[in-house]
Structure 1
Amino acid sequence: MDIHSDIPYTRESLRNPLREFDLYLPPGSIADPTTRPTICFVHGGAWRSEDKKEHSVLAENLVHHTGLAVVVPNYRLTPHEETRDNVLRHPSHTEDILNFLEFLLTWEGPPGCGRVFDPTQLFLMGHSCGAHMLSSILLDSSMVTASLTPSRSLLDAVKGVVMSEGIYDLDLLNLHFPDYLGWFIAPAFGTLESYSPFAVTSYALRRRTLSWLLIHSQGDTLVDFSQSEKMLNHLKSEYGTSADERICYNTALTQGHDDILVTDEFVKIVGHFIEKALDKH
């Protein structure tokens, strides 16, 4: 496997590890790698923790199982100890991810390699808060966060999206897990009476031909089923009669919130979804 680490996706003059990504390429030669789709995994961590390196096992497993390139970006995080000079709140984290995805569309590849995947065929994966971030881009959040509006080219490039253990409705999450308000919701979104404007379950579809896979493990004790079920019902309402064709919901896993990411079962579920989505295009 060929791994390219710490690639910047912005034009900052000084290196910023939180605005870099890692690229994992399958071994062996491919006649034309520029026709190969790629998978992008956006990590969770409550908008305040985790690093792309922590998900190298998942990335390598995805490469081995699918034969596709995998990219894992970092993004700026809300600090654990907030001061007047280091506040970072939504939508800043998601703006970084949007900038990264737009960057992929025109990136010429690692030095000396050239393009190693087709930027017009992207599969996006969001775990926990990563699911909220991707949903804020792929669904129409423009009335709340206009800065998260993707280009037409990016919307056309995304062939499928996988959401695992997703956070979608902050008020509902706070109702079931009150400790989360002070732990990460208020630090990442500000102290508000209601977080309903940021519920992605109220955002309309930007594109009706996108395929979705929602995964929620029976063993997840950090985010409960009500999150994924509300998102599922919202998407079904948006898609109407085409919902069964466009939306998959999988609750077969039994591991913990993050533990699912290093299981063979998780990778197989994702790989099967990608294979089916490619057959549609």
Structure 2
Amino acid sequence: MTHSQSLGIAYTSCAPDDNQRQFDIYSPTHTPATARPLVIFVHGGAWRAEDKRDHAPLARSILTATGCPVAVPNYRLTPSRNVDPHLRHPVHAQDVLTFLYFIQAWRDPQYSFDPRKLVLIGHSCSAHMLSSIFLDSQTPSLAPSKDLLCAVRGIVLSEGIFDIDTLVHRFPDYRRWFVDDAFGPAEHYPEFSTLRYSPWPNTPIKWLLIHSKGDMLVDVPQTVAMYNHLKTLYPEGVTFDIDSVGSDHDDVLRQDAYIQMVKDLVVNFI
């Protein structure tokens, strides 16, 4: 499928030249008669690494599979040995929320999509970020508007981090590697467990959770626990798959089965 793209679009006026608060968008060259949903991929990277450009091939694959435009935002990252509390959680998720508000209102004749139909994809740490927005984390700066809650039709979470304490227990080196930097030094992090978060009222979001049994960086029990939690909140709206993709953490995003699962979710909203 031929496509058009625009790269490095600022989504906040306070930092127009800040690459960490810009997004890329990919869209079919031929505009369909009916505006399609917008698919939004938020990258992972342990709150400290990766860039939207790393995921251009994935965006094009999703575009080809679904026929829907795909946006990939950046967000501020936490530096190694961070001592600045302003670069800790929830700043990353705040940036994502700022982007979502921006994209809902953004209009460009070259890029046609229905702002009332958004499908969000989070991978690794961004699964935690999206969960912290679209579940009630008791963080006022992450509370989405009613319009945004209504617009988000589906959320795909792959290889997700959901509970920081169990992650550190399973991988003790992660505390020094990125957890203390991103969340601040602490003995325990119960307030950041998405397994404790409650649903926003009247939010019929469809959730798809994916995890590979071959993931060596984040273990399957993270996603199993989140699935069990979401099923108590949305008994009819959660799908779970740990069998279809069998590669390591980031390689999941290059699997045909992963693209197919995303497509199967998205086509329900076209």
What secondary structure, in the 3-state scheme, does the structure 1 residue paired with 2:40 have? strand
Asked if the contact 1:79/1:87 (under 8 Å) is kept, the reply is: no
The structure-2 alpha-carbon separation of the partners of 1:119 and 1:220, relative to structure 1 and needing over 3 Å to count, comes to same
State the identity %: 46
What secondary structure, in the 3-state scheme, does the structure 2 residue paired with 1:205 have? coil
1:61-106: CA deviation from partner (whole Å, max 9, x where unpaired): 000000000000000000124356x851000111000000011111
CA distance in 1, matches of 2:80, 2:15: 26
CA distance in 2, matches of 1:28, 1:273: 22
1:248 to 215, 219, 239: 239
TM-score of the pair, normalised by structure 1? 0.91
Cα distance, 1:188 vs structure 2: 0.1
What secondary structure, in the 3-state scheme, does the structure 1 residue paired with 2:87 have? coil
CA distance in 1, matches of 2:203, 2:86: 36
CA distance in 1, matches of 2:263, 2:111: 23
1:139-181: CA deviation from partner (whole Å, max 9, x where unpaired): 0012xx2110001110000000000000000001011000001
CA distance in 1, matches of 2:55, 2:106: 22
CA distance in 2, matches of 1:128, 1:222: 9
What secondary structure, in the 3-state scheme, does the structure 1 residue paired with 2:54 have? helix
Structure 2: which 5+ runs fail to align?
A: none
Structure 2 residue 164 is the aligned partner of structure 1 residue 165: no
The structure-2 alpha-carbon separation of the partners of 1:158 and 1:217, relative to structure 1 and needing over 3 Å to count, comes to same
The structure-2 alpha-carbon separation of the partners of 1:194 and 1:247, relative to structure 1 and needing over 3 Å to count, comes to same
CA distance in 2, matches of 1:114, 1:262: 28
Asked if the contact 1:107/1:115 (under 8 Å) is kept, the reply is: no
The corresponding residue for 2:102 is 103
1:29-77: CA deviation from partner (whole Å, max 9, x where unpaired): 3224xx2111000100000000000001100000000000000000000
Structure 2 residue 208 is the aligned partner of structure 1 residue 213: yes
1:205-237: CA deviation from partner (whole Å, max 9, x where unpaired): 114411000000111010001100110110111
The corresponding residue for 1:55 is 55
Cα distance, 1:269 vs structure 2: 1.0
The corresponding residue for 1:4 is 6
Structure 1: which 5+ runs fail to align?
A: none
The structure-2 alpha-carbon separation of the partners of 1:29 and 1:106, relative to structure 1 and needing over 3 Å to count, comes to closer
